[in-house]
Amino acid sequence: MKKFINDTESLLYDSLQGFALAHNDIVEFNPDPRFIKRKTLKDKDKVVLVSGGGSGHEPLHAGFVGFGMLDAACPGQIFTSPTPDQMMAAAQAVNCGGGVLFIVKNYAGDVMNFEIAAEMLELPNASVLVSDDVSLPKDHSTGRRGVAGTLIVEKLVGAAAENGLALANCKALGERINQVTASMGVALTSCTVPALGKPTFDIAENEMEIGVGIHGERGRETVPIKTATEIVEQIASIIHEELQPKAGQEVLLHINGFGGTPLIELHLLYQLAAAYWQKKELKISRSLVGNYTTSLDMAGASITLTLMDEELMRLWDQPVNTAAIRWGC
């Protein structure tokens, strides 16, 4: 294993210090309990958005803290849920009087700890559970995982909260976005967790893993590697069948890298996915390409499609100023 680290135990703390220093015009780092928060909070009565999860998915979630998205993010150790005390402290630190909306990826540890925090927090609060990974069936025992669609929820609800939308309405909006968003990933390699020191699973040079999550876990099947066109058509057809968009539907297309895939390949995947849905007579009105919801150094990518309407497009276009996403400011 070759990594730029001094000590696996201090890696996260050291990295968060560097992140806050590099973006000290936007965020502040609270070391104990650990969270990242907006440096400048909004006016009184704004709903504040708090999210988080295991580290290793950067820039998710800390990279999305700032104007127009999250007010705070709670990073756990690599691929490990943050603790309820982190979530409670973060919510209290950014509270503006309008209530707290927790945005939670559907992973067992995240769900459990956010539920504990929500029950103990003496502030009005609600939660949105993101479950956009269609590689798992709807009736899966723990539900579908929250993956790259989390970014879409955080951006759109974040914009609505900046506009003064009330807590119950922010929750309803987040749940609506989750219902019209579908994602699926594919990996060419595993990833290496520094504390483990080796790949989390073995995969041959001529194989790929279809339907992977974002924690280095295997997907739903291991298959011989295919061309980029074949890969996109397989994943896009599953997403299309899930969402069943009608001809003329406006959509947001998000191609997300898992950390080890260069942009030249991600833009190829975008071109192929766009061509697939244009043949289905969909209108790709908004797009995002890059490494946003990663799995450390995994070579792979995911495709996310969100069915858009005029309200969602206005919210997407609203100004945002975070470490990872900035426009309109």
Q: Which residue numbers are catalytic?
A: 57, 215
Contacts of 196 (CB under 8 A, 6+ apart): none
Q: Which amino acid is at 321?
A: N
Alpha-carbon gap, residue 224 to 257, rounded angstroms: 20
Q: Within 13 Å of residue 110, how many CA atoms lie on the same side as its CB? A: 30
The tokens for 72 are: 């705070």
Alpha-carbon gap, residue 179 to 280, rounded angstroms: 20
N-to-C CA span, the chain = 41
Contacts of 165 (CB under 8 A, 6+ apart): 47, 173
102 DSSP β-pair partners: 50, 127
Cα→Cα distances 72→13, 52, 134, 175, Å = 16, 8, 28, 20
Q: Which helix (H) or strand (E) holds 321?
A: strand 320-322
Alpha-carbon gap, residue 172 to 261, rounded angstroms: 35
Alpha-carbon gap, residue 76 to 36, rounded angstroms: 11
Q: Residue 3's closest CA among 203, 216, 199?
A: 199
**In the block, residue with structure tokens 């020191």:** 197
221-224 β-sheet, strand order: 221-224, 207-210, 181-187, 300-307, 250-257, 283-290
The tokens for 211 are: 């339907």
Let me know: does 305 contact 274? Beta carbons within 8 Å.
Answer: no
